[in-house]
Amino acid sequence: MATAYHNLSEYNPDEIPDISGMRFGIVVSEWNIEITEKLKEGACNTLLKHGAQPENITVIYVPGSFELIYGAKLLAKTVQPHAVIGLGCVIRGETPHFDYVCSGVTQGFALLNAQGDIPFIFGLLTNDTMKQSIDRAGGIYGNKGNEAAITAIKMIQLDCRFK
């Protein structure tokens, strides 16, 4: 289990730069909202903790995880943030729908990163059970929304090094 080896929810806050002037977009799936809302809270709290201004964090909701791609593209175009974070949760069911959604969202975010000029952070939980999702949305494995926010900050920092 990769999470057991590296948990970004446990990071050194002294290594994170001040982000008071940065703008962030967060797109959240309404599907499995009890999980995605906790991911969003983790991401927002982490951004605020490191200096983001509340007015510089734009949050939008989309119906499901597949729609995260379009929502992320729309946020990038209209809000012009320094990074976009996509947060969703897909739990395996009895049909191949899980595989199609997970694959599509993964490919969509990869394409956004390849073609875009800002980082698009992939914060999609792809678990077998609701318990696994709860464990990753503020449970025993931390909050993956928090990790997505830290990833966004680090990617903006990387981007700034090359400009």
Q: Which residues are catalytic?
A: 97
The tokens for 131 are 């318990």
Who contacts 45 (Cβ-Cβ below 8 Å, separation ≥6)? 146
The tokens for 43 are 């991401």
The structure tokens 């390849």 sit at 114
| Count of helix runs (H) and strand runs (E) in the chain | 6, 6
Q: Describe the crossing of helices 97-115 and 68-78 by its angle, rounded to 10 degrees.
A: 20
β 142-143/120-127 pair status: unpaired
Q: If phi over 0 gives left and psi between -120 and 50 gives alpha, with beta otherwise, what is residue 71?
A: alpha
Reference 26, options 105, 109, 86; nearest CA is 86
Rounded CA separation 53/68 (Å): 23
